[in-house]
Amino acid sequence: MLIREMTRQECLDLVAENHIARLGCTRDGQPYIVPIQYALAANRLYSFSMPGQKIDWMRANPRVCVQVDTGTDRQNWRSVVIHGRYQELPDTKQWHRERMNAWSLLEQRINWWEPGGLKPGEQPVAGTSPHLFFEIEIDDVTGRAASAG
Ligand SMILES: Cc1cc2nc3c(=O)[nH]c(=O)nc-3n(C[C@H](O)[C@H](O)[C@H](O)COP(=O)(O)OP(=O)(O)OC[C@H]3O[C@@H](n4cnc5c(N)ncnc54)[C@H](O)[C@@H]3O)c2cc1C
């Protein structure tokens, strides 16, 4: 098996072709990783969520790591690691354009809101939903590709 470094463009292409990533955040030295759905545009990943642990942690420490991979087997795979910064996109005038951008990109997938919008157990009935949009601005990206050689 051969492993090579991927170019930045190859990394971004792989991220653009996929829509599920693992998002890692940390608080007080404790890592926390969960799968999320995202959309890529320019230098940003956009996602949708309900409030919860990962949002609390990223608010406290916006430095995050995101990993995306594809692979047919152990000898043929590509994997990308992104270091970036969390930015919430609140429903305010300042963030309106970015929020709408996130929404329009994410809604291109059917039932796009389901994985981020549902939690276990019965949820209280409320007049408004506390859902939120956020983005990860990419600081750096690296990738490795393996082939059977
Ligand atoms: C394919 C896929 C796509 C997803 N897309 C999104 C998305 O776009 N946006 C989004 O917000 N969520 C998405 N999810 C769900 C996500 O992985 C989390 O489960 C969810 O966001 C809740 O995270 P939280 O930090 O708010 O957890 P909370 O509800 O605050 O619960 C915290 C605790 O629950 C446990 N927990 C939470 N999530 C998981 C998990 N996935 N696996 C195991 N234990 C868990 C942990 O022990 C954690 O300490 C997706 C999941 C999958 C499998």
Q: Is 121 helix (H, G, I), strand (E, B) or coil?
A: coil
Nearest Cα neighbor of 88 from 50, 31, 43 is 50
Chain segment 13-38, per-residue pLDDT in tens? 999 999 999 999 999 999 999 999 99
What count of other Cβ atoms lies within 10 Å of the Cβ of residue 131? 13
User: Ligand 1 centre and the CA of 32: distance in Å?
Assistant: 10
Answer CATH for 2-108+130-147 from 2.30.110.10, 3.40.190.10, 3.40.50.740, 3.40.50.1100: 2.30.110.10
Pocket of ligand 1 (CB under 6 A): 20, 34-37, 47-49, 52-54, 115-116, 119
Rounded distance between C-alpha atoms, residue 110 and residue 35, angstroms: 18
- pLDDT category at 121 given cuts 50, 70, 90 is confident
Query: How much is the pLDDT for 128?
Result: 74
Q: Where are the alpha helices (DSSP H) in the chain?
A: 8-17, 53-60, 96-106, 114-117
To test the ligand 1 pocket, which listed residue (34, 40, 107, 110) has its Cβ within 8 A of the most ligand atoms? 34
Does the reported pTM lie above 0.85?
A: yes
Cβ contact 49:78 at 8 Å: no
Tell me which residue has its CA closest to atom 51 in ligand 1.
35
